[in-house]
Amino acid sequence: MKDSLIIHHATTQLVKIPLKRPFVTHLHTVTAINAVKLTVTLANGMVGVGAATPNRVVTGDTLTSMKAILDEVIIPQMTGMSLTHVEPLENKLQGCIVGNSGAKAAFDIAVYDLLCQIYHVSLNHLLGGSKQSMATDYTISIGERDQMVTDAQDLVKKGFTSLKIKIGNNPVEEDVATVTAIAQAVGPAISLRLDVNQAWSYKQARRGLASLAAAGLNIAFVEQPLPADQLHDLAVLRQESGLPIMLDESVFSPADALRAVSAHAADYINIKLMKCGGIYQATKINQICEAAGVPCMVGCMIEAPESIAAAVAFANAHTNIRFIDLDSIYMINKDVDLGAVKRVGTHLWHA
C-alpha cells in the first residue's frame, strides 16, 4: 500500500513585514520581519506551513542563504521522507547539513503543522497541553533613556505586566540608571527582564549585577550578561550574583544545554526555535533542563506569525516553560493573516 504521508514537494517564498519602529539591541538593528515561508505538500495533498527568520549575528544566516539552503539542500533531501516515521525524519533533517538551524526550523514547523492535521489536534495538545495561555513580555529596545521610560509606561498602560529591557550599548552605570528609571516609572508590580546580549565583561557584569541587586528592583533575571562561551565565568557570576542568570546565546542545541546545566551556569535557559532547529530539538532542550531543575523561557527573533504561533504552542505545552518572550507579532506595522495562529490553537493575543 502506498504511503500517503510521504513528502511530495515543498516550496519557499520570501516574506517582509515592516515594523512600527526599528528594534535595537547590542548586536543589531532590525526594521522589518524578514522570513522565508515554507509550504510542504504530502502525497495525499495535505499542506503544512512553516517559516523562519534569519539572524546573521546570532544564527549566522541571511534571508538569501536560508532560502538557498532550503531550496538546494533541505527540500531535495527531505522529499520522499514519510511523516509515518517522525524520529527518522527529524534525524534526517538535523543531519542533512551542518548548522543552518533557522532553515531546519522552518521545515520542522511545517512537519508539525501537518502532524496536527493528521491527528486532528492543536499543536499545544499534540506536544503536551500543559497550559492554555501564557503572558508574553514586550521588549524595549535600546534608545535614549527618556524614550525607553516613555515606551515602558505606554506598554504598561496597554496591559503588559512584564517588560524586557535591552541594555549593553552604554557604560554599565548608565545601563543601571536606565533600568532604575524605568522601574521607578512603571512601579514595583511590573516585572523587569534584562537582556545584555553578551555585552559585558566579567568585571562589568559583577559591578552591574551588584548595583542592580542593591537597588531592590523587581528584576526576574538578567539574560546573557557575558559572552556565550564563558560558561565557567557565568557559573561563578551566578554564584556571586543576587539576581538570576538566564542563558540565551550560550545554548543552541541539546548538547549546549547539557553543558550549561552541568556547569551550573544558568538559573534559566532561553529556548528559541530558530536557534535549535525547531520543535523537535526544542523539546530535547527543555527535557534536559527540566531534569536538571532549570526552568526555561521560549523566546524569538523578530519572526513571522507562523513561527511565533509554533513557539507559543510549544511554550504552552510544557510545565517547565515559565516565561515567554514572543512579542514580535505586536511590533508589526500592518495587519497579519491570523490563519497560522488560529490553526495551532494558541492564545497568542493575550498580553
Looking at the structure, tell me whether residues 110 and 141 fall in a common domain.
no
Looking at the structure, tell me whether residues 155 and 229 fall in a common domain.
yes
pLDDT at res. 334: 61
Annotated binding-site members for Mg(2+): 195, 223, 248
Looking at the structure, tell me whether residues 62 and 195 fall in a common domain.
no
Last residue of one domain, picked from the residues 105, 121, 137: 121
State the average pLDDT over residues 321-327. Answer: 96
Q: What is the CATH number of the domain that holds 148?
A: 3.20.20.120
Looking at the structure, tell me whether residues 49 and 13 fall in a common domain.
yes
- Give the three cell numbers for residue 69: 539552503
pTM of the shown model: 0.92
Looking at the structure, tell me whether residues 210 and 255 fall in a common domain.
yes
State the average pLDDT over residues 192-204. Answer: 96
**Residue 36, domain extent:** 7-121
Q: pLDDT higher for 336 or 8?
A: 8
Residue 351 located in a structural domain: no
pLDDT at res. 329: 86
Residue 199 located in a structural domain: yes
Residue 26 located in a structural domain: yes
- Tell me phi and psi for residue 55, to 5 degrees: -155, 100
Residue 195 located in a structural domain: yes
Report the C-alpha gap between 164 and 143 in whole angstroms: 14
pLDDT per residue over 138-161, tens digit each? 999 999 999 999 999 999 999 999
- Give the three cell numbers for residue 153: 509606561
Domain count, the chain: 2
- Tell me phi and psi for residue 14, to 5 degrees: -90, 145
Looking at the structure, tell me whether residues 173 and 274 fall in a common domain.
yes
Q: Are 208 and 176 in contact (CB under 8 A)?
A: yes
Query: Where are any strands of DSSP class E within the chain?
Result: 7-24, 29-42, 47-52, 138-140, 162-166, 191-195, 219-223, 245-247, 268-271, 296-298, 321-324
Looking at the structure, tell me whether residues 172 and 151 fall in a common domain.
yes
Annotated binding-site members: 195, 223, 248
For residue 112, give the H/E element and its range.
Answer: helix 101-119
Residue 348 located in a structural domain: no
Last residue of one domain, picked from the residues 72, 103, 121: 121
Looking at the structure, tell me whether residues 180 and 74 fall in a common domain.
no
| Distances, alpha carbon 277 to alpha carbons 271, 272, 292, in Å | 10, 9, 22
Q: Are 66 and 128 in contact (CB under 8 A)?
A: no
Report the C-alpha gap between 95 and 91 in whole angstroms: 6
Looking at the structure, tell me whether residues 143 and 109 fall in a common domain.
no
- pLDDT band of residue 347 (cuts 50, 70, 90) is very low
Q: What is the CATH number of the domain that holds 46?
A: 3.30.390.10
Percent of the chain with pLDDT over 70: 94
State the average pLDDT over residues 202-207. Answer: 96
pLDDT at 341 over 80: no
Last residue of one domain, picked from the residues 102, 121, 140: 121
State the average pLDDT over residues 182-190. Answer: 97
- Tell me phi and psi for residue 270, to 5 degrees: -95, 115
Looking at the structure, tell me whether residues 310 and 336 fall in a common domain.
yes
Average predicted confidence (pLDDT) for the chain: 92
Looking at the structure, tell me whether residues 157 and 271 fall in a common domain.
yes
Look at residue 327 and give its three-state secondary structure.
coil
Residue 192 located in a structural domain: yes
Q: Which residues are catalytic?
A: 166, 272
Q: Are 304 and 33 in contact (CB under 8 A)?
A: yes
- pLDDT band of residue 294 (cuts 50, 70, 90) is very high
Residue 349 located in a structural domain: no
pLDDT at 291 over 80: yes
Question: Among the listed ranges 12-21, 84-93, 261-270, which one has the minimum average pLDDT value?
Answer: 12-21
- pLDDT band of residue 18 (cuts 50, 70, 90) is confident
Looking at the structure, tell me whether residues 26 and 117 fall in a common domain.
yes
Question: Among the listed ranges 42-46, 226-230, 301-305, which one has the minimum average pLDDT value?
Answer: 301-305
Residue 148 located in a structural domain: yes
